Amino acid sequence: MTDRKFSGFPAEVEFTSLPDVFFAQVMPQIQDLAELKVTMYIFYLLSHKQGHPPFVTYGELLSQEALMTGIDEEVLRHALHLAVSRGTILHLNLNIDGKWEDAYFANMESDRETIDKIKRGELSVREQPSSEEGIGHAVQLPNIFALYEQNIGVITPMIVEELKEAARLYPSQWINEAFREAALRNKRSWKYIARILERWASEGKDSGEHRQSTKKVDPDKYIRGKYGHLVKR
């Protein structure tokens, strides 16, 4: 089955800037398609970041459906390794609001200087939201992967599929509030958060907005499929 033919760009469309030297010097050297895809997607995400210096976390990349279509986590890690080894992208393990995260920067002079300041302890960083204007539907922040990294820790391959399934099953606001409730109770574990979501799915959410939305949802959808073990009735 072939992909549907692209119908063309609309009259009004946002553009993502890339340095001319990328096309002249970097792209001719890239042999791995995943490395090219990941590198260009990082520039895309960085162009919509708020704050300085702009950076992208590993969790953000992992959550991007447009990026991850056709590749898995192993391919993503390999592509990032190639991009960092080539020098196109810079990598730094950052302590963001008390959580250690893999962060990626464009190898620009201003970012190199900023990274040096971070390493010397002269500058601290916080998580950066993406601009809601111009980013389209490809970026959805805060997302379940970013929330997991911020509140629990490093994402492991074993938990990725469960996070994806939870993101599919539950409204994003439920997920955000479940993480918040777990943090307030100092119960920073995915098992605890999953139980909160299971309870809301079976008993209904307190707010009128969520109670109304649950009436429209088939309750059996939470127990069907490969990951039905996540929800118990």
Query: What are 135-191's pLDDT values in tens digits?
Result: 333 333 357 888 888 888 887 777 888 888 888 888 888 898 999 999 999 988 999
pLDDT: which is higher, 167 or 230: 167
pLDDT per residue as tens digits for the range 70-82: 999 999 999 999 9
- Nearby residues of 84 by Cβ (< 8 Å), 6 or more positions away: 90, 91, 104
Tell me the mean pLDDT in the region 9-14: 76
Q: Which of 227, 229, 197, 228 is nearest to 214 (CA)?
A: 197
Q: pLDDT > 90: what percent of the chain?
A: 34
Q: Which of 73-77, 124-128, 196-200 has the lowest mean pLDDT?
A: 124-128
DSSP state of 130: B
CATH of 17-131 given 3.30.390.30, 1.10.10.10, 2.30.30.100, 1.25.10.10: 1.10.10.10
Q: Where are the beta strands (DSSP E) in the chain?
A: 56-57, 89-96, 99-106
Q: Which of 29-33, 82-86, 151-155 has the lowest mean pLDDT?
A: 151-155
Q: Which of 48, 32, 38 is nearest to 133 (CA)?
A: 48
Q: What one-letter code names the amino acid at 96?
A: I
Radius of gyration (C-alpha) of the chain in whole angstroms: 20
Average pLDDT of the residues of the chain:
79
pLDDT: which is higher, 13 or 64: 64
pLDDT band, very low/low/confident/very high, at 219 (cuts 50, 70, 90)? very low
Is it the case that residue 87 has pLDDT exceeding 90? Answer: yes
DSSP state of 229: G
pLDDT: which is higher, 46 or 41: 41
* Angstrom distance (rounded) from CA 179 to CA 128: 18
pLDDT band, very low/low/confident/very high, at 126 (cuts 50, 70, 90)? low
Is it the case that residue 228 has pLDDT exceeding 70? Answer: no
Whether the full predicted model's pTM is greater than 0.75, yes or no, is no
* Angstrom distance (rounded) from CA 96 to CA 80: 20
Tell me the mean pLDDT in the region 120-146: 56
Q: What are the residue boundaries of the structural domains of the chain, listed by start?
A: 17-131, 156-233
pLDDT at 153: 85
